[in-house]
Structure formats: C-alpha cells, structure tokens
C-alpha cells in the first residue's frame, strides 16, 4: 500500500482527545488491551432518522473491513458503513446532560433529537 493511500485513510475518522481517554478507560474496564484492540464503528438501518451508529470493541478484522487510526485509537469500519462516516469525529460529552461517546458527522443532513440516528 502506498504512503498516499495510508495517509488518505488515516483521517477518515477523527478521535477527540477526551474521546480517546474515555475509549481507553472503557477498553480497560472490559478487559481489552487498547494497544491491540479496535473500536468497531458501523452504520445500520434504524432510528427515527433512518440510520444508527454502532460502536463496539473488537480484536479481529473481517474481510472487507477498513482499519484507520487517529489519536492512538485503531478503528475498524465495515465496507458498507465506510462512506457514511467519512470525516466524522468521535467525541465525548460528559456531565449531567452529556451524551457519552457520540459521532459528529458532517455528512448528516438530519439527526434526531437524541443524536442517535441520522440521514444523508
């Protein structure tokens, strides 16, 4: 793979500093090693706006998955979800009215009130 292609895929998803810290904490709580585990990000049909985000931890890459890395977090994106989330920032909001981990997707034309679903 050429250096250009690696750099092209490197910033497909951005991970904020606070999200990085929370992801590492969550991985540690679940007994996952942040240096060898991935955050699996996907999109599926559902929610009031049409599409829902999926976020889990995984240790294995499947055929067709893309692997990107930002801010020290390795992210796996399934082939079908990749174009829906290009340029998205994974962030964290805490506090009384916080959302926890959430996606700030510049491609979304509409999101629902809770921010859990979106449409393009």
Contacts of 16 (CB under 8 A, 6+ apart): 71, 89, 90, 91, 92
Q: What is the pTM of this model?
A: 0.77
CA distance 19 to 79: 23
Give the pLDDT confidence of 15-55 residue by residue, as tens digits: 999 999 999 999 999 999 999 999 999 888 766 557 888 89
Provide the pLDDT for residue 36: 92
The larger pLDDT score, comparing residue 86 to residue 11, is at: 86
- Say whether pLDDT at 106 is over 90: no
pLDDT, mean of residues 57-61:
93
**Fold designation for 3-119:** Hypothetical Protein Aq_1857; Chain: A; (2.60.300)
Reported confidence tier of residue 3, pLDDT bands at 50, 70, 90? very low
The residues, ordered by sequence, that sit 6+ positions from 31 with a Cβ below 8 Å of its Cβ are none
| Domain range summary for the chain, segments of one domain joined by + | 3-119
Report which of 70, 55, 67 is spatially closest to residue 100, judged by C-alpha positions: 55
Q: Chain centroid to CA 76: how far?
A: 8
């Amino acid at each position: 793979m050429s250096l250009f292609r690696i750099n092209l895929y490197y910033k497909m998803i951005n991970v904020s500093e606070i999200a990085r810290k929370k992801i590492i904490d969550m991985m540690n709580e679940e007994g996952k090693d942040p240096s060898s585990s991935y955050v699996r990000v996907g999109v599926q049909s559902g929610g009031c706006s049409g599409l829902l985000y999926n976020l889990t931890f995984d240790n294995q890459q499947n055929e067709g998955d893309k692997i990107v890395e930002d801010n020290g977090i390795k992210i796996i994106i399934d082939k079908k979800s990749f174009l829906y989330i290009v340029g998205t920032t994974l962030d964290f909001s805490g506090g009384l009215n916080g959302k926890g981990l959430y996606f700030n997707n510049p491609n979304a034309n509409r999101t629902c009130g809770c921010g859990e679903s979106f449409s393009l």
